[in-house]
Chains A and B, each alone.
Chain A
C-alpha cells in the first residue's frame, strides 16, 4: 500500500505539464544521442549535465530530464546497430549480430519495430522491478555502517574493473588513477590542502564533471580524428515501416526471459547494460533449438539483447539510488548529476526526499510510453538524424562540451584540464585501460576514504573492524570474486566480440 501511495505522489509531480514536457524533450534528445555513433548514453548525458545545471533546473526536473535522456539513449542505440551495423552505443553491440542481417534481408522496418517493442518491454519490466526492489534494498542499506560502505565501494571497483578490461592490472590501475585524483584538494577533516602542488586552481579538487566530459566526449573526438570518420557510412535504406505483430507475439517469451536476466545483471554493481544485453543474447541462443539461425537475422536475436539492455539500464538505477554505488558507466554519470544537485543517494534519500525518488520513478514509467511512441511509429525521424556527418557532429559535441564546462566555472583552467583528460583518455583507451573506473574513482574516492576514516575512529584504529560484520565479509568475498572470476570467464565472454569482427570483415 505504501508503494501505491508513494507512486501517487510521484505521478502528481511527474504529470505536471512542465515535467511532462521535460520528459518528452529528454526522450527525444536521448534517442538521438543513442542513435548517433560516437555519442552514447555516457558521453551524451555527460555533456548535458553542465547545461542542465546552468539552466537552473530544480533537482526533480533535472533528474527527470537526464534519466529520460538515459532511457532514450538505450532505445536509440539499436537504430544504428540495425541500419549501419555500427552500435550507436556499447550495449547495442549485441543487436548488430542479428539486427543488421535482418536489415540486409529487407526487414529493417520489422527489426526496428520489434527491437523498439523489446526495448519497451525490458525497460517497463525494469522500472517495475525498481519500484519493488529499491525500497527493500534501501531498508537493508540502513544496516550499512562505515565498514560495509568501504567494502561496497571496493566491490564496485572490483566488479566494474573486472568486467571492463581484459587485463585486471590495468583495470585496478584505472581505479587507482581515479582515486588518486579524488584525493587532490582540501582534506575534509583537517581542512588542509593535499597534493595540490600549491596550485590555487586545485584547492577545490578536480571537478568530476570536467573529468567525465574530458574522458568521454573529448576522447571520442580524438578517436574520430584517428578513424577519419570512416565509420559514418550510410548503410541499409529503410523502407516502409510495418508492425510485425506475429514476430512480436513469437518473441514474447524471449523478451520476458531477457528482461529478467538483464534486470539482475543491471542490479549487480559494476555489471551494467552491456553485460545485460550480452547475457540475454547468449541465454536466448542457448534456449532456442535453431541455434544456427542466430547471427543470420533471427528476430529473437534482435529482441533478446534489446530487452536485456533496457532492463539492465533500469536495474542499474537500483544500486545507484539506494546505495549511491553506480552499476555502469552511465549511472556513474547520473551519480555525478545527483552530486552536482547536492542530492546524496542512499537509503536516506527514500526517507528524506521521497518527491525526488518517486517523481523520478513515475517519470521513468511515463518516459517508457513516450519512447515507445517515438521509437515505433516515429522511428523514421531518427533515421534522418543518422545522416548527420561526423565532421559536423564531433566538432559540435566538442563545442557543446566547452560551453557546458565553461558555464559551470568560467575558468580557463577547467577547460585545459578537460582537454588534458581527453588526451589522457585517448592513450588509455588505446592501451586497453578502461576509463569508467577512473570516473568511479573520482566520484567515490572521498566517500571511500571517509568511510575508512570514520570506521577507524569508531574502532579506535583497529583494522579488523573492516571485516567485523557478516555483511562486510560477504561484500569483501564478492569483491574478490568479482575481480578474479572474469580472468577465468574471459575466454567464454570474449567469443562474441571476435564474432562481430569476423562479420565486419566478411561484409
Chain B
C-alpha cells in the first residue's frame, strides 16, 4: 500500500512539473495547428491521471529486499557510475576488472570467484572485442599512460 502511495505521489509531482515545463516550450511563428506544446501536455495530463489512480487505489506492497541487499544494490550502482566516468581516462582493462569483480561479489559473495570473474572478463572481453570483432577499444587510456610516464 505504502509503496504505491509514494510512487503515485512521486509520479503525480513529476507529471505536474512535466506539464508546467511543457507550457514553457518555445513556439516558432511558423507553427502547425497543434504546435510543439500540445502533445507533451496531453501526455502529462494522462500521466497525472494514472498517478492519481495509483495513489487512490494502491496495489499490495511488493516484497522489498532487506536493507543489506539494498546496500549491495547501492554498491553496484555506485560502481557502475564510477565505471561510466573512468572508462575513457583509464581505458578498458583496469576499470572493467574492478567493476566486474565488484558486481560478481554482489551476486555471489566469494572473494576468489569475484577476482577471477573480474580478471577473466576484463581480459577475455578485451581480446574478443579488440581482435575477434575488431572494435577500436583502448586497453589503457591515454590520460592514465601520461600520468604513469610523468611519475616515472
Per-residue CB contact flags for chain A residues 398-424 toward chain B (1 = under 8 Å, else 0) read 111011001100101001101100110
Q: CB of A192 within 8 A of chain B?
A: yes
Please tell me if the beta carbons of B107 and A415 are within 8 angstroms of each other in the complex. Answer: no
Q: Is the interface of B mostly helix, strand, loop or mixed?
A: helix
Q: Which of A396, A400, A407 has the most CB of B within 10 A?
A: A396
Q: Taking A394-B107, A395-B103 as contacts, is the C-beta distance between A225 and B18 under 8 angstroms?
A: no
Quick one: given A169-B50, A225-B73, A392-B117, are A403 and B25 in contact (CB under 8 Å)?
Answer: no
Q: Interface range on chain B: under 10, 10 to 19, 20 to 34, or 35 or more?
A: 35 or more
Which candidate, A27-35, A173-181, A370-378, is the interface stretch facing chain B?
A173-181
> A418–B129 Cα gap in the complex (Å)?
20
Q: Is residue A224 contacting chain B, with contact meaning CB distance below 8 A?
A: yes
Contact with B along A220-236 (1 / 0, CB 8 A): 01101110110000000
CB distance from B142 to the nearest CB of A (A): 14
User: Are the CB atoms of A190 and B108 closer together than 8 Å?
Assistant: no
Given the complex, which residues of A lie within 8 Å of B40, measured CB to CB? 180, 183, 194-195
Given contacts A407-B135, A422-B80, contact A452 B34 (CB under 8 A): yes
Known: A189-B32, A403-B129, A460-B33. A222 touches B121 (CB 8 A): no
Q: Is A218 an interface residue (CB 8 A)?
A: yes
Q: Which of B11, B39, B85, B105 has the largest number of chain A CB atoms within 10 A?
A: B39
Interface status of B144 (Cβ within 8 A of chain A): no
* Residue A239, interface by CB 8 Å: no
Query: Does the CB pair B100–A399 fall under 8 Å?
Result: yes
Interface flags, B1-39, vs A, CB<8A=1, else 0? 001100100010001001001100111101111101001
B103: which of A194, A398, A426 is its contact (CB, 8 Å)?
A: A398
Contacts of B26 in A (CB 8 A): 192-193
Q: Are A173 and B54 in contact (CB under 8 A)?
A: yes
CA distance A461 to B35 in the complex (A): 10
In the complex, the chain A residue whose C-beta lies closest to that of B44 is A180
From B4, B46, B136, B137, contact of A431 by CB (8 A): B4
- Pair B65/A395 contact, Cβ less than 8 Å: no
Q: Does A430 sit within 8 A of B, measured CB to CB?
A: yes
Is B94 in the interface zone, CB < 8 Å from A? Answer: no
Give the distance to chain B from A425, nearest Cβ to Cβ, in Å. Answer: 12
CB-nearest residue of chain A relative to B134?
A55
Complex interface: chain B residues within 8 A of A189 (CB): 31-32, 36
Q: How far is the CA of A434 from the CA of B118 in the complex (A)?
A: 32
Q: Do A180 and B73 have beta carbons less than 8 Å apart? A: no
B110 CB to closest chain A CB (Å) equals: 8
Please, which residue of chain A has its CB at the minimum distance from the CB of B39? A449
Note all chain B residues with C-beta closer than 8 A to A170.
50, 54, 59
A12 at the interface (CB under 8 A from B): no
B118 neighbours in A (Cβ, 8 Å): 395
The reply on B83 being an interface residue by CB < 8 A is: yes
Is the beta-carbon distance between B21 and A195 smaller than 8 angstroms? yes
Q: Mark A166-210, 1 if CB is under 8 A from B, else 0.
A: 110110110011011001000101111111000000000000000
Q: How far is the CB of B64 from the nearest CB of chain A, in Å? A: 7
Contacts of A293 in B (CB 8 A): none
- Classify chain A: how many residues form its interface, as a range: 35 or more
Interface string of B51-93 (1 = CB under 8 A from A): 1011001010010110001001100110011011101100010
Q: Which of A447-464 contact B (CB under 8 A)?
A: 448-449, 452-453, 456-457, 460-461
List the B side residues contacting A392 at CB < 8 Å. 104, 117, 120-121
| A207 to B31 alpha-carbon distance, docked (Å) | 26
Query: Which of A179, A187, A192 lies at the interface centre, i.e. has the most chain B CB atoms within 10 A of its CB?
Result: A187
Binary flags per residue of B129-140, CB closer than 8 Å to A gives 1, else 0: 100011111000
A20 within 8 A of B: no
Q: With a CB–CB cut-off of 8 A, which chain A residues contact B145?
A: none
A390 CB contacts on chain B under 8 angstroms = 107-108
List the A side residues contacting B54 at CB < 8 Å: 167, 169-170, 173
Also in contact, A394 and B80, with CB within 8 A (given A55-B133, A194-B25, A452-B39): no
Given contacts A400-B125, A419-B81, A422-B80, contact A391 B114 (CB under 8 A): yes
A415 and B39 form a contact (CB under 8 A): no
In contact, B62 and A415 (Cβ under 8 angstroms): no
Q: State whether the Cβ of A432 lies closer than 8 Å to any Cβ in chain B.
A: yes
Q: Are B80 and A225 in contact (CB under 8 A)?
A: no
Are B25 and A195 in touch, CB under 8 angstroms?
yes
CB distance from B140 to the nearest CB of A (A): 15
Question: A51 in the interface, Cβ–Cβ < 8 Å?
Answer: yes
A456 CA to B28 CA in the complex, in Å? Answer: 17
- Offer 10 A-B interface pairs, CB within 8 angstroms, sorted by A: A51-B133, A166-B59, A169-B57, A173-B51, A190-B28, A229-B108, A389-B113, A392-B121, A412-B87, A426-B73
Interface residues of B (CB under 8 A from A): 3-4, 7, 11, 15, 18, 21-22, 25-28, 30-34, 36, 39-40, 43-44, 46-47, 50-51, 53-54, 57, 59, 62, 64-65, 69, 72-73, 76-77, 80-81, 83-85, 87-88, 92, 96, 99-101, 103-110, 113-114, 117-118, 120-122, 125, 129, 133-137
Q: Which 9 A-B pairs have the closest CB atoms?
A: A461-B33, A415-B84, A176-B47, A173-B50, A391-B108, A169-B53, A395-B100, A395-B103, A187-B36
